[in-house]
Chains A and B, each alone.
Chain A
Amino acid sequence: MNSSLILSITTFVYGLAGFLYISAWIFRKPLPGKLALWTTILGVMGNLAGFILRWVESYGAGFGRIPLSNLYESLVFYAMTIVVIYLFIEYRHKNRTLGAFVLPMGFLCLAYASLSPDMGVQIRPLMPALKSNWLSVHVMTCFVGYAAFALAFAFGIMFLIKERGGKGNLIHALPKLDTIDELIHQMVMLGFLFLTMGIVTGAVWANSAWGRYWGWDPKETWSLITWFVYATLLHARLMRGWQGKRIAFLSILGFGAVIFTYFGVNLLPGLHSYGS
């Protein structure tokens, strides 16, 4: 049993949980909802076990390090954070239709990590510039922030569906519009706090490694762009008439910036200058 096998299994557990949440929403029966919750809890435990086991395996390979240093490892952590935050919200709001929007994202995240052929599943040692405690804090805070933004995105979609949806049963089962709006706002605040911490710890790390806290490289700049977008959202809420639909749109746009910061930057000239 190794970590990547556990994580592959977890992928399917998340997929099943997503399926159950969607069934619970469509058929509005309590049983699939309960099953979905327990499946999700099982999935999180698998996800955590995979994360910890990978950490242990790195010691076996002769260089212990927290598994947060490449795309594969960050996706594993990302999926886990998304689902953990979701569980907390389900516990607080007791509405399982939210799961139908969130669990598929956790599933996609791990599926991409487990199934994509060019993923760095191999455990590699860290290059000199990455050996810093700030790095672990940096990656963790960034991904908690991204996870909160992913949920804000899911709630944004939910808001738009509810808003234009009419009176059908499916629509009726979704939370009230101002509850969803409040959820979006809460997730954006959580995300903004953690993204801020992520940018700050990244700057402190860069300063300790290279003596500059900011260098306008594309990854840094895109995280700042994301930060500007969500700051815009937070202030737009203060303007008259900017609640609800437009905020939902902004939460979707903001998540676009997150995705670009995460994946898209690799397509641009001049990489996030790890090392060199």
Chain B
Amino acid sequence: MKTNSRPSGLAGHVWDVFVSVKLTVATLTLLAFTSIFGTLIPQNQHPADYVNTYGESFFRFFNVFDLFNMYNSWWYRLLILTLAINILTCSLNRLSPTLKMVFKRKPAFKRLSIHGAVDCERSARALRTVVENSLSQTFKKIHVQEDEKGFSAFAEKGAWTRLGFYGIHLSIIVLLFGALLGSIYGIDGHVNVPEGESAGTIRLRNSGAPVPLDFKIQCDAFNITYYKTGSVKEFRSSLVILDKGNAVLKKDIIVNDPLKYKGYTIYQSSYGSLKAKTQKLNFTNRATGEKVQKELTRGTPISFPDGSGELILKKVADNQTLMGQEVGQAYVCEISQDGAAPSEVILPTRFPSYDKMRKGAWILSVAQQEKRFYTGLAVKKDPGVWLVYAGFIMLIAGCFISFFMSHQKMVIGVKETPTGTHVTVSGASTRNRIGMKKRVKEVTAIFNPKEYS
């Protein structure tokens, strides 16, 4: 399609390159091919890992081409930009012919690309209704033009489906624009909120920089439920949004059901358990069964309930080994009683009766504490996402229109001859040429059943 959008001189040659489908094919091929590398080479890892895997010289070589973050590299972006410019010039180039075809629908009685012709014995006047009936099987409105030798009939439908082209191609631009907005103005942060507490500052995922929010997120509870098989069924955080101290929004979020507030979306992303803030010990009197609980801080001695000795917490071991067995967390303490030399006792958290073996007057055990969780929340803002979604809808609609609908035209001409009439049947379709060929054949046969049956 040649149009007057083409500038002259050198600019014209550049223009020719950018409107060409050849450039499209080349760019798409390059994108398909180069995208493979980023799936073979893990992206965005620590440089040391790469040096380990590939060795120094390959690392250098790959690094020059940004292969470790290739989807954000200058050359990958250049490919996408080329595609975008290609789409824009190509769309611009087709704009005026397309608009003419869609909106200025003047019937054109010229013969179309798929055609057939036949001689008929009947007169032009007699054929008038035959022609109109055969066209009205496919088309709603039929235009007829009479001249001294006969008449021509024209009908078309689906001219608007040519806009499907714009649906597909401009959607790519809209999509890319949405993605660009998101990458410039979007916020991608994370915050851990312990149960029962609130947070008003998030950390950016890339840089770790803190970003204050103008509201607070409070986590009332975090729960995990399990299937009978033992695998996780659901992570659920009960959240409250506090704006200027007022609880303005309350919602339980789960993985596929985030919370939205003031342009931010808050997603369930991870969780973890908190170390208990204080340590507590139970003293159980072996003779009387009397039970006393005392709080502990590392390094500060506390006295036994009856004053018969002292105890110091030396450390909390994460994974203690006792008699060749790993027993998990344990308190390592030192006790000194009645002037005897200090001795070490180990109190595994999960086995409260372990200290019975020591046969002391008081049995010591770590007080079971309620486990506290924090919920890990992804807090995001993406002002471009609605454009991306609009692009998605345009893209799908455009593909559907382009692939499964078509602009169809038919022209039937009837000319009187000495022996009757000469009938020409022609048609064109943007899609399904085979179907149109069949239809032209069928319609032609109507005028001379013998020859075509």
**Which residues of A are interface residues toward B (Cβ below 8 A)?**
62-63, 124-125, 127-129, 131-132, 179, 182, 189-190, 192-193, 196-197, 200, 203-205, 207-214, 216, 218, 221-222, 224-225, 228-229, 231-232, 235-236, 238-239, 257, 265, 268-270
**Which residues of B are interface residues toward A (Cβ below 8 A)?**
21-22, 24-25, 28-29, 31-32, 35-36, 38-40, 42-43, 71, 179, 188, 227-229, 231-235, 254-258, 265, 267, 269, 378, 380, 382, 385, 388-389, 392, 395-396, 399-400, 403-404, 434
A-B pairs with CB below 8 Å: how many?
112
A236 to chain B, nearest CB (A): 5
Known A128-B254, A128-B256, A129-B256; judge A193-B28 contact (CB<8 A). no
In the bound complex, what is the Cα–Cα distance between A269 and B389 (angstroms)? 30
21 contacts between A and B (CB under 8 A): A63-B227, A128-B232, A128-B234, A182-B434, A193-B396, A209-B256, A210-B269, A210-B378, A212-B188, A216-B71, A221-B39, A222-B39, A225-B36, A228-B29, A229-B28, A239-B21, A239-B22, A239-B25, A257-B32, A265-B39, A268-B40
Asked whether, in the complex, the Cβ of A211 is within 8 Å of the Cβ of B265, the reply is yes
Chain A residues with Cβ below 8 Å from B254 are: 128
Chain B residues with Cβ below 8 Å from A204 are: 389, 392
In the bound complex, what is the Cα–Cα distance between A124 and B40 (angstroms)? 31
Closest residue of A by beta carbon distance from B41? A269
Chain A residues with Cβ below 8 Å from B43 are: 216
A103 to chain B, nearest CB (A): 25
In the bound complex, what is the Cα–Cα distance between A62 and B233 (angstroms)? 12
Closest residue of B by beta carbon distance from A205? B256
In the bound complex, what is the Cα–Cα distance between A216 and B39 (angstroms)? 8
Asked whether, in the complex, the Cβ of A200 is within 8 Å of the Cβ of B255, the reply is no
Chain B residues with Cβ below 8 Å from A203 are: 388, 392
A116 to chain B, nearest CB (A): 23
Known A192-B403, A228-B35; judge A131-B255 contact (CB<8 A). yes
B266 to chain A, nearest CB (A): 9
Chain A residues with Cβ below 8 Å from B188 are: 211-212
In the bound complex, what is the Cα–Cα distance between A110 and B228 (angstroms)? 30
Known A125-B227, A204-B389; judge A269-B42 contact (CB<8 A). yes
Chain B residues with Cβ below 8 Å from A128 are: 232-235, 254-256
Chain B residues with Cβ below 8 Å from A265 are: 39
In the bound complex, what is the Cα–Cα distance between A163 and B370 (angstroms)? 75
Identify 9 new A-B residue pairs, CB closer than 8 A, beyond the known A211-B378, A225-B39.
A125-B227, A128-B254, A128-B256, A192-B399, A192-B403, A207-B385, A228-B35, A232-B25, A268-B40
Asked whether, in the complex, the Cβ of A127 is within 8 Å of the Cβ of B232, the reply is yes
Asked whether, in the complex, the Cβ of B255 is within 8 Å of the Cβ of A229, the reply is no
Chain A residues with Cβ below 8 Å from B234 are: 128, 131
